[in-house]
Amino acid sequence: LWIVAVFGILAGLFVLMKRKLPKKREAVIEFDEIHSALSHERVRMDKLLAKIGLHRFPSETTTQFADRIETESRFDQAAQVSLWYRTYSACRFRPVYRPDDLEDLRIQRERISHSWKHLESGENTHV
C-alpha cells in the first residue's frame, strides 16, 4: 500500500513540475521580447540623432551618451534627449519590467521627433 502512496506522490509532483515549466518559459520569452522591443526603440532614437550628426560611440553606454548629449550638445532638445536615454537605461536594466515603460519611451521619442522636424531640414544643427 505504501508503494501506491509513494507512486501517487511522485506522479503528483511530476504533474506540478510540468505545470510550472511553461510559466517559467513564458516569462523568459516575455522578458526577451520586452528587451528586444526596448532595444528597437533605442535604435529608432539612435537613427533620429544620426540625422543631425550625433552618434553614440561603440564603447559608450547609453548613460554615458546621455551625459555627453547634455554637456556637449547645443540643440534645443538636448535635455529631453538626454532624459530619454536615461529613462531607457533605467527601463532596460531594471530587474522588474513595468508594462508602461515601453509605451512611455515610444511616446517620448515621438514627441522629440515631432518637436524637431526642423532639425532634419538643416536648421539648428549645432550639435
Q: Residue 81: its pLDDT value, please?
A: 94
In tens digits, what is the pLDDT along the chain, a chain of 127 residues? Answer: 778 777 778 777 776 666 654 454 444 447 778 889 999 999 999 999 998 889 999 999 999 999 999 998 877 889 999 999 999 999 998 887 787 888 999 999 999 988 877 555 554 444 4
Which own/partner contact pairs does 87-94 have at CB distance under 8 Å and 24+ positions apart?
A: 88/38, 88/41, 88/42, 88/45, 88/62, 89/61, 89/62, 89/63, 91/38, 92/35, 92/38, 92/39, 92/42, 92/62
Q: Residue 16: its pLDDT value, please?
A: 61
Q: Residue 127: its pLDDT value, please?
A: 43
Q: Residue 122: its pLDDT value, please?
A: 52
